[in-house]
Amino acid sequence: MQRMTVRRKLAIATWSAPQEGNIYGKLTVDVTQALAYLRWKRETTGEKVTLTHLVGLAAGRALAQAPGLNGRLLFGRYIPHETVDVSFLVVLEGGENLAKAKVEQIHKKGVAEIAKELRTLAERLRAGKDEAFKKSQGPLAILPTWIIRPLVWLTGWLTGALGVDMAALGLERFPFGACVITNVGVFGLDEGWAPPTPFARAPVFLLMGAVRPQPTVIGGQLAVRKLMSLCATIDHRFMDGAQGAVLAKVVRSIFANPWQLDELEGPPAGWVDPGDDDAAG
């Protein structure tokens, strides 16, 4: 009999047949300028910045401008979060497990700062040195799924809705923030939609697809550019069309001109783009 991993047990215990209303949206962005910007940041900061970090920053800035999404539901009321926090999913154990790495106040940070913080968190998780993660995984490894289901719902409600700090169990207040990002493009997948995780209590799940050269129209002319799909699954209780438009506008603006993040109009004078694709990861 195949061993049931903690990840599989948690999935079985978490989801049931879909009952809640979700909004699914896809945004295809031209990442040509973004990749050039990230290569420049690598040269000037020495930090391995990638599209994942830029997407996280864009999501954070979008949430800051759409406060109706950056919050939680408690007793039928919407309560805004005090900070703008975004979580990234980290693959562990050769793909058999997942963990989250949360970056707080992400909209106030640059891509290099986000990259450094996320790298530190991911390295600690993969090395098995994250004590909070080990505490949270311990009971899941030994309990049956029928007990895990009510347990994760209760702990998710306490930490994600009520805001209780459960450090003894390795669980923090609002552990996932308002947005969860996962990058399946690194596995060669072009697009997909992430299922909302009930115990995460995050209104936005954002999935990054692979970067592909594709035909597009620029200034009325057909050209081949590097494009990437961003697919969002959003809790309809939080968002309507107007807030969705804010999200799309902010993300499009940053990818159209990422140099604005450093108060530049474009690439610095004299800088030569090496043109590699390492920043796509």
d(CA 170, CA 210): 33
Average pLDDT over every residue of 45-70: 94
Rounded to two decimals, the pTM is 0.90
Average pLDDT over every residue of 113-120: 97
d(CA 74, CA 25): 26
Residue 11 has pLDDT above 80, yes or no: no
Q: How far apart are the first and last CA of the chain?
A: 36
* Contact indicator for 33, 53 with CB cutoff of 8 Å: no
pLDDT of residue 211: 96
Mean of the per-residue pLDDT values for the chain?
Answer: 90
Span 136-164, pLDDT tens digits:
988 888 899 999 999 999 999 999 999 99
Q: Say which residue, 273 or 208, is predicted with more confidence.
A: 208
Which tokens belong to 97?
A: 């497990």
Confidence of residue 8 (pLDDT cuts 50, 70, 90): low
In the beta sheet, which residues pair with residue 29? 228
Q: Are strands 86-92 and 97-103 parallel, antiparallel or unpaired?
A: antiparallel
* Domains annotated on the chain, with CATH: 22-262 (3.30.559.10)
Which tokens belong to 6?
A: 């903690």
pLDDT of residue 251: 94
